[in-house]
């Protein structure tokens, strides 16, 4: 099973602050990297899927970068808002044929107004 680490486990920021968190995965066994946003009492929703080293994706104030050689991805939120409060999950897809995603435990973000 792929070892996926997300840090920090939880984070509290003030409204308007920018923040970032990390997803680490084995660089030797990588095919794609997914980010999901999971609000309380809802289901996870896909944010980004990245496959190439150096990939950078953006959706509004949220962006993500990917380094497949060293095995990490960063998720950035610029000017955090209370509605950004959620758990952010990363999920690498291993390079082993038809193998499903492995989800990290997530980073729980709370934005304080």
**Interaction site with other proteins (CB under 8 A):** 1, 31-32, 34, 36, 42-46, 49, 51, 89, 93, 98-106
Q: How far is the CB of 93 from other proteins (least distance, A)?
A: 5
In whole angstroms, how far apart are CA 49 and each of 42, 79, 89, 91? 20, 23, 12, 9
Alpha-carbon gap, residue 80 to 82, rounded angstroms: 7
Q: Which is nearer to other proteins, 7 or 17 (CB)?
A: 7
Q: Which is nearer to other proteins, 77 or 90 (CB)?
A: 90
Q: How far is the CB of 48 from other proteins (least distance, A)?
A: 8
Query: What tokens were used for 40?
Result: 């309380």
């Amino acid at each position: 099973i792929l070892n996926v680490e997300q840090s920090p486990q939880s984070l509290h920021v003030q409204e308007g602050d920018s923040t970032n968190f990390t997803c680490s995965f084995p660089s030797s066994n990588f095919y794609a990297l997914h980010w999901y946003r999971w609000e309380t009492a809802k289901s996870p929703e896909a944010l980004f899927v990245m496959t190439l080293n150096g990939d950078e994706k953006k959706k509004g104030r949220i962006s993500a970068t990917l380094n497949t050689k060293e095995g990490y991805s960063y998720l950035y939120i610029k000017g955090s808002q209370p509605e950004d409060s959620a758990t952010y999950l990363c999920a690498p897809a291993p390079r082993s044929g038809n193998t499903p995603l492995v989800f990290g435990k997530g980073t729980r973000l709370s934005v304080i107004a």
